[in-house]
Amino acid sequence: MHIENFKIFSDLVESQSFSRAAKINGITQSAVSQQMRAMEKHFNVLIVDRGQKHFRLTREGQRIYETSKEFLQLYDKLSNDLQEMRKVVSGTINLSTIYSIGLHELPAYIKLFLKDFPNVNVRVEYRRSNLVYEDVSHNAVDLGLVAFPIKSRNIEIIPFQEDQLVVICSPTHTLAARKEVSIEELSGFKFIGFDQDIPTRKATDQIFKDFKFDITPVMEFDNIETVKRAVEVDAGIAIVPETTILQEVRQKLLCRLHIKGKRLVRPLAIIHRKGRVLSPAIRKFVHLLTTKDLLKVLENGEG
């Protein structure tokens, strides 16, 4: 048995999907099936209960899985220890991120990181929030980046930044000349919202509920870019993270209004699977994200 056999098997168990395990490891579904059969032949046991409709391990399969995780953690720790002994920071960091962080916050950080660590390769997947958690839970990626992090039994949460929420409108809108506005003053204006399953939408709904009035969006979209385009053509106003509209404000495509009386923020977090051994490169990247001021990095391109 090679270490790759245990890795593929663990990914199969955690994803409960032959196609998912294949994608994670860059092989075919057929290869995943062959690896499992080879493992059953090697240990002379049945690993998966084929009499069940859904994926289910046998007792022996569960024991092999538990030991596989121990092997993999020890192997990762050994690899990381050797890198640290050689003072080497290299390898690949696989990230899964929601669109707004991936498109607006993350690129500046990656550019800054690669200046210091050019031997590291950073791969980014843009995903909806629920799929970021799924990627992390299934060990398909090293780290996830999310807004309004949700506690989970097998997820470790590392606070990243707090992104201020602001009101945006078109330069031709009635509010365009204002620098700030109260939540109560938004009543009566057409509102552009995110889809209801987007964390920022849930947060804005709660804000309006706290102020005891309802706003029904005239349009709903699943990503920040479409929301901004709708506001640009004066289809309505929106509440969005400030870091996502800096370029449009500079170009005078949008006007930004701060919210009176209360600082409303969108907490951002780095997530990874609990118990996962983080390589030196991953730890350096996490350190950068958690110690550098977000707006300074975005506005000044500095370290």
Give the least confident one: 76-90, 99-113, 157-171.
76-90
> What percent of the chain has pLDDT above 90?
43
Find the mean pLDDT for residues 118-143: 91
According to the model, what pLDDT value does residue 262 have? 77
Residue 295 predicted with pLDDT over 70: no
* The two structure tokens encoding residue 200: 């920022």
Q: Name the most confidently modeled range: 46-55, 101-110, 184-193, 228-237.
A: 228-237
Domain extents for the chain?
A: 3-84, 87-159+268-300, 162-266
Provide the mean pLDDT of the chain. 88
CATH fold, domain 87-159+268-300, is: D-Maltodextrin-Binding Protein; domain 2 (3.40.190)
Domain spanning 162-266, CATH architecture: 3-Layer(aba) Sandwich (3.40)
Q: Does 3-84 match 162-266 in CATH topology?
A: no
Q: Give yes or no for a contact between 99 and 69, defined as CB atoms under 8 angstroms apart.
A: no
Distance CA 148, CA 201 (A): 11
The hierarchical CATH code for the domain 3-84 is 1.10.10.10
